[in-house]
């Protein structure tokens, strides 16, 4: 019954000029297919691995991710969905063409990074709302600095129903796992690369409308993000409600906001605060009576959840000048 309801919700009406556009960003915790890529170190996500990552578990995760996307959209699918930790095109093809979301008309663009594990970022979009103009990857020069290669940053631009161009940047900055010093240096290098590219966009594209989102692996108080916070022309969006027992990621009992959305100054009057999306089935209780995101794995033990991150979403309310009710052809 739930599956049928999700399919019915995908038969949506096109967004008309003046209607809000919902945008989602989410780290979906290692969305790997169960097929070995000989060019990447994906061995831990195979049927014969210690994790026993089977096609059945893969499909369950695909359907759970789809369920969250539709839940965030409420009456219709979100217009833009930024994913972090996607292995390859195979996963995005499954999501957009073979799973529950196949009737929603989504298309996607993604990076193909030198990350040794093969995880990338992707942008799923509805072409009736975001008519793709271009997409490109911004390479972080980690190897040139003697560091482990990391994820590329994705930049895409598209035309909105009112004719405006929106630039969307999706990033997944290096984590603190492993060598702490190398992780810090790699994250600083990624932030430097991101700032340089964003500064060029803001300076060279007249009235550039820009949204930057993803998993930054750092809170806004972290010194590694200071260059981004100092960059002229963009600013972070604050959560609608900041509660003591909430965030986008929980580690050793402590919540933190490490998934962020930045927007250009000219969009400040057109966007909502960011909000979290969670449901009881996406949670697991903790000993103190609060909850954790119900992640897919606890170490190498299969936990059956969808992700260790909480999805973040916002609404874009563009200042339209086109005739009321006109839709994108």
Confidence of residue 318 (pLDDT cuts 50, 70, 90): confident
Tell whether the model's pLDDT for residue 261 goes beyond 50: yes
Rounded CA-CA distance 289/217 in Å is: 26
- Domain assignment present for 58: yes
Structural domain includes residue 289: yes
Q: For 211-259, how does the pLDDT look when each residue is reduced to its tens digit (9 = 90+)?
A: 999 999 999 999 999 999 999 999 999 886 667 778 999 999 999 999 9
136 by DSSP, 3-state: which?
strand
Q: Indicate whether 315 belongs to any domain.
A: no
CATH of the domain at 197: 3.60.10.10
The total of structural domains in the chain comes to 1
Of 277, 212, 275, 264, which Cα lies nearest the Cα of 239?
Answer: 275
- Does residue 175 lie in a domain region? yes
State the pTM of this model.
0.91
pLDDT per residue as tens digits for the range 18-73 = 578 999 999 999 999 999 999 899 999 999 999 999 999 999 999 999 999 999 99
Greatest pairwise CA separation for the chain in angstroms: 58
185 occurs within a structural domain:
yes
Token pair 């097929």 is at which residue? 35
Dihedral (CA of 259, 237, 314, 268) sign = negative
For residue 107, the enclosing domain spans 22-36+45-310
What are the residues whose beta carbons fall under 8 Å from the beta carbon of 227, sequence distance 6 or more? Answer: 191, 192, 195
237 occurs within a structural domain: yes
Sign of CA dihedral 310, 109, 139, 112: positive
Asked whether residue 13 is domain-assigned, the answer is no
């Amino acid at each position: 019954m739930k599956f049928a309801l999700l399919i019915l919700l995908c038969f949506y009406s096109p967004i008309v000029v003046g209607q809000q556009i919902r945008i989602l960003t989410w780290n979906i915790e290692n969305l790997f297919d169960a097929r070995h890529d000989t060019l990447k170190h994906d061995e831990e996500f195979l049927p014969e691995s210690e994790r026993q990552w089977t096609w059945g578990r893969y499909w369950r995760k695909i359907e759970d991710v789809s369920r969250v996307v539709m839940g965030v959209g409420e009456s219709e699918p979100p217009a833009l969905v930024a994913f972090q930790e996607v292995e390859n095109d195979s996963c995005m093809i499954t999501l957009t063409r073979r799973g529950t979301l196949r009737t929603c008309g989504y298309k996607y663009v993604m990076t193909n990074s030198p990350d040794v594990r093969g995880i990338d970022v992707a942008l799923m979009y509805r072409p009736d709302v975001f008519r793709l103009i271009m997409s490109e990857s911004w390479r972080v020069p980690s190897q040139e600095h003697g560091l482990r290669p990391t994820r590329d940053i994705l930049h895409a631009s598209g035309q909105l129903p009112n004719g405006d161009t929106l630039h969307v940047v999706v990033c997944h900055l290096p984590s603190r796992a492993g060598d702490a010093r190398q992780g810090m240096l790699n994250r600083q290098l990624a932030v430097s690369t991101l700032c340089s590219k964003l500064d060029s966009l803001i300076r060279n594209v007249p009235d550039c409308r820009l949204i930057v989102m993803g998993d930054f692996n750092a809170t806004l108080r972290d010194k590694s993000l200071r260059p981004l916070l100092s960059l002229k022309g963009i600013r972070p969006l604050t959560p609608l409600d900041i509660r003591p027992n909430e965030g986008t990621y929980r580690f050793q009992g402590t919540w933190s906001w490490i998934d962020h959305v930045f927007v250009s100054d000219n969009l400040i009057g057109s966007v909502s605060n960011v909000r979290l999306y969670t449901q009881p089935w996406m949670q697991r209780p903790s000993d103190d009576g609060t909850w954790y995101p119900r992640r897919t794995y606890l170490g190498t033990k299969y936990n059956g959840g969808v992700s260790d991150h909480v999805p973040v979403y916002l609404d874009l309310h563009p200042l339209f000048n086109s005739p009321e009710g006109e839709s994108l052809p």
